[in-house]
Amino acid sequence: MKQTFVIKAFTVIVLLAVAQIINGCKEDEKSEPDPNTNSVASCEGCHTNYAHLQEVYSPDTAAPAGGCGGEAPHYEPYDRVYMGGDGYTAYKQSGHYEIGCVGCHNGTGNTTDKTVAHSGDFISHPSMYAAEKCGSCHQAIVNNFKTSIHQGTGQKRKVTIRCGL
């Protein structure tokens, strides 16, 4: 009787260990950030569904540009737009989440068609239009960004100042 219990307990432990090993091998797979996944007919639903992003992504037409630090590392297009992990959790708790995707990016919400979602006046990088898209809440940051060395105008301004022009 005691021996049967030991064998059963050992079997359970071995099965749990095997399950842990198998799950450990799946570490590289992206998991859904929310177990109640949204429909891909919304910005958030599409961009939190890693498998769907892999199905609908468009390949890069040009290599990302390098910067002061050298060449930019390559990230697949679907990795650049996937929302998950700690960053997504922080975003959901921020005031930006309340604005919604279309509030910053324009485009069309509530569609499964990627072309329609990213059509019209869609903006992939709203910070490029900081005065229009961010200024109503972050005017001081927008004003400082205009002369920041970390964007083209700021770099030109600093070089001009250093050259005495």
Low-confidence ranges of the chain (pLDDT < 70): 1-38, 64, 66-69, 149-160, 165
Please count the other Cβ atoms lying within 10 Å of the Cβ belonging to residue 81: 13
Q: Residue with structure tokens 């049967």?
A: 4
Instruction: Tell me what pLDDT residue 146 has.
Output: 73
User: Is 112 in a helix, a strand, or coil?
Assistant: coil
Q: Which string of DSSP letters, residue by residue, matches 5-19?
A: HHHHHHHHHHHHHHH
Kindly report the three-state secondary structure assignment for every residue of 35-50: CCCCCCCCHHHHHCCH
**Backbone phi, psi, residue 110, to 5°:** 55, 50
Separation CA 55–CA 65 (nearest Å) = 25
Would you say 77 and 62 are in contact if contact means Cβ atoms under 8 Å apart? no
Would you say 149 and 155 are in contact if contact means Cβ atoms under 8 Å apart? yes
Measured in whole angstroms, the distance separating CA 112 from the mean position of its chain's CA atoms is 19
Instruction: Tell me what pLDDT residue 13 has.
Output: 53
H-type helices in the chain, by residue range? 2-25, 43-47, 50-56, 77-81, 85-92, 95-99, 101-105, 114-117, 130-133, 139-146, 152-162
Domain residue extents for the chain: 33-57+75-124, 125-165
Separation CA 72–CA 8 (nearest Å) = 54
Instruction: Tell me what pLDDT residue 112 has.
Output: 94
Instruction: Tell me what pLDDT residue 98 has.
Output: 93
Separation CA 55–CA 78 (nearest Å) = 9
Separation CA 118–CA 161 (nearest Å) = 40
Could you report the per-residue pLDDT of 51-67, keeping only the tens digit for each?
Answer: 999 999 999 888 767 66
Q: pTM (2 decimals)?
A: 0.64
Instruction: Tell me what pLDDT residue 88 has.
Output: 93
Instruction: Tell me what pLDDT residue 75 has.
Output: 87
